Structure 1
Amino acid sequence: MTAEQPRFSVLLPVYAGDDPQFLERAFRSVTVEQTLHPAEVVVVRDGPVGAPLAAALAGLPALAASTDVEVRVLELAENVGLARALERGLAACTHDVVARMDADDVSLPERFARQLALVGEGYDLVGTAIQEFADEDAPGIVRVPPLTSADVDRASRFVSPFNHPSVVYRASVVGRAGGYEHLPLMEDYWLFVRMLATGARACNLPEPLVLYRVGAGAYARRGGLRLLRSELRLQWLMRRSGWTTWAQLLRNVVVRGGYRLVPESLRRVAYRRLIVRRGTDTGTGSDTSTGAGSAA
């Protein structure tokens, strides 16, 4: 590890709905398979889990035994939801630089080396493109987020400018922005907006350095009344904070809110067309604020 690349933690939340085999695959991808190893992995068990997942959690240190990566499992007695679980995990991380990881995704071997080089240059928040997959041998479409700081800032008025499972950030800058706040399925977007508003230096890498697992319920999670309520709350928070104008709030409520209410079949078609178009336009962002997380 060079002087420009600080020691860092990986923050990985787990809850009862996660698959033990997917967890083990995700864990290996951020430890033994990385060209640049983290100093530690902090796994947050968000509430009770079943016996198979508990066994997988207990076996994680053995999976990293060939490295000098420290593995710690923070066990929460009750399921508190993704935002609160991540806040607990951040408080437990030893290092200021923290990489996010989800329990069902896969980080490619160069991910941390590429991102930590930019953190060493002074960036506070660095994400990457992601590639959807259901089977690692058959990867799907690539979601390319806005790349430059200016594009990130501009896109954030309409979409989340980062793919949450791909980000590396400084915990001190997260804390300066107020940390994760409970906003079901939108906590990451709201955090990124507040980080940008408080001066975080941010960018994204164009390469898909994280494989993002897409299950059968992916499109259902992007709609429904629960998500619509979070969407409306998010739009009001962004307007109240001064991040968006009234015109932007109205546009977002109509476009983003309407998207949450259309039938799943139409949402699938609209999403695919939008992401494919954005994959060739790196000045726009991808909305990953509805990804999998700890159920509350």
Structure 2
Amino acid sequence: MNKPRITVLMPVYNGEMYLHAAIDSILKQTFQNFEFLIVDDGSKDRSIDLILSYNDSRISLLQNEQNRGTAHALNQGIANAKGDYIIRMDCDDISLPDRIEHLVKFMDSHHDIGIAGSAMRLIKNGKLKNTRFQLKSDEELKITLLFNTCFFHPTVIMRSSIVKDHPYPDNFIYAQDYNFWTQIAIHTKFANIDKILLYFREHPAQISHKKAVLQKSNARLIRKFYLQSIVDDFNDEELEIHHQIAETHTGLDLEKTKVWLEHLIDINRQKQVFSPEVFLKEMSRKWWHCCKKNTQYGKEILDIYRSSYLHLHYRPEKFKYLKFYSRNLVRHRKKKSD
């Protein structure tokens, strides 16, 4: 086989339930010049037998005798990848037939981008559900990292030259993608494609379900470290407010939330870490989502939302704003009648 342009990298651990569908979705891609590197990370089920049942020269299998974790498996794959680009795949997801073709065309025409992702649609209980999008530009995505991950991990394509030099950190194993993006952000530019290229399967066996508490605590540590790249000093109360914003809590103290977001804007304006205009818009977006989520304030939420200048710098979709407005009027009237 000639040198492939693409390495599709898929870690597997006890993935037999959905493995056939995942593998088939890659082998049926419209773009064919790829190697399919599968790293079995110590599976105890029939995963290896299922992989070996395929007679396709593009498939290469690396086997670990013991489970070493996703970050280790990904780094194994990165070290062995032959392609110019590495495309992530999970063993329970489905790639749309033109996924690789779209990702390669995008990267070939955007030489400054080192990592790009796409939109995805959820599969839950065997049915297609809602679509999820991320922001698109490099600055928007790196501002997003102040709160949460900026990519849907299994959607990404990465330049091999960059990730071979900067592989996945092996700490914070239950939030390895968020950790990875914050570490590699200084080395390359990011982007997202506003197109659905993958179906993401939600099920109870996922790490996000099984290790939710550890994942949350790891994410809080990563978030704190990244926050320090813009804010030199913050107290425990401010950090907790920041975490609650990131975790989309209900029951937020919106007055303290407003003060904190406006404080972040002032600091960024002084330090110029990010474009002040882009940063203002993204903090205003956060303010909108915090108010929309915390409707327990009743009709007063509208006054609270408008009490910050932030409401002038992000315009939610008209339908969503009207829904937010009318829902709070209804709640207020119900409260009065009670």
Normalised by the shorter chain, which TM-score bucket? Answer: 0.7 to 0.9
1:37 aligned counterpart, secondary structure: coil
Structure 2 residue aligned with 1:24: 20
How many residues are paired up?
248
Describe the SS at the equivalent of 2:191: strand
**Does 2:210 match 1:215?**
no
Deviation at 1:223, TM superposition (A): 7.2
Say if 2:148 is the partner of 1:159: yes
Read off the aligned partner of 1:167 and give its amino acid letter: V
Structure 1 match to 2:11: 13
SS at match of 1:185: helix
Match of 2:194 in 1: 206
1:266 corresponds to: none
Of 84, 87, 96, the match for 1:99: 87
Q: Percent identity?
A: 21
Give the Cα–Cα distance (whole angstroms) in 1 for the partners of residues 170 and 317 of structure 2: 33
Determine whether 1:124 maps to 2:114.
Answer: yes
Distance in structure 2 (CA, Å) of the matches to 1:219 and 1:82: 10
Match of 1:197, SS state, is coil
- Secondary structure of 2:59's counterpart equals strand
| Residues 127, 205 of structure 1: 8 Å contact kept | yes
**Structure 2 CA distance for partners of 1:135 and 1:221, relative to 1, 3 Å:** closer
CA offsets per residue over residues 10-34 of structure 1, 9 Å max, x none? 0000012x134x1111111112x21
Q: Give the whole-Å Cα distance in 2 for the aligned partners of 1:156 and 1:149.
A: 11
Greater share of helix = 2
Structure 1 unaligned runs (5+)?
A: 1-5, 260-269, 282-296
Match of 1:190 in 2: 179
1:181 counterpart SS class = coil
* 1:56-205 alignment, distance < 5 Å: 56-60=50-54, 62=55, 65=56, 70-121=58-109, 122=111, 123-134=113-124, 138-198=127-187, 200-205=188-193
TM-score scaled by length of structure 1: 0.74
Aligned match of 1:49: 44
Contact persistence 2:22–2:94 (CA under 8 A): yes
Which residue in the other structure is 2:308 paired with? none
Residues 97 and 37 of structure 1: is their aligned pair in 2 closer, same or farther, counting only changes over 3 Å? same
**In the TM superposition, what is the alpha-carbon distance from 1:43 to its structure 2 partner?**
0.3
Larger RCO: 1 or 2 (CA < 8 Å, sep 6+): 1
> Could you say what the CA RMSD is over the residues aligned between the two structures, in angstroms?
3.0
**Superposition deviation, residue 72 in structure 1:** 0.7
Larger Rg: 2
Using the TM superposition, give the Cα deviation of residue 224 of structure 1 relative to its aligned residue in structure 2, in angstroms: 4.5
Output aligned runs, 1:206-285, within 5 Å. 206-216=194-204, 221=209, 224-239=212-227, 242=229, 246=233, 249-256=239-246
SS of the aligned residue for 2:171 comes to coil
* Equivalent residue letter for 1:29: S
Distance in 2 of aligned mates of 1:140 and 1:168: 24
Contact residue 174 and residue 207 of structure 2 kept, 8 A:
no
Residue 90 to residue 128, structure 1, CA distance change in 2 (3 Å): same
Report the TM-score when normalising by structure 2: 0.65
Measure how far apart 1:252 and its partner are. 3.4
CA distance in 1, matches of 2:212, 2:201: 21
Which residue identity is paired with 2:124?
A
Closer, same or farther: CA 186–94 of 1 in aligned 2, 3 Å: same
Per-residue deviation, 1:99: 0.2
For the 8 Å contact 2:155–2:198, the answer to whether it is kept is yes
Quote the residue 2:278 is aligned against: none
Q: Mean alpha-carbon deviation: is it higher for 22-31 or for 127-136?
A: 127-136
Contact 1:197–1:243 (Cα < 8 Å) also in 2: no
Instruction: Give the superposition deviation at 1:180.
Output: 3.6
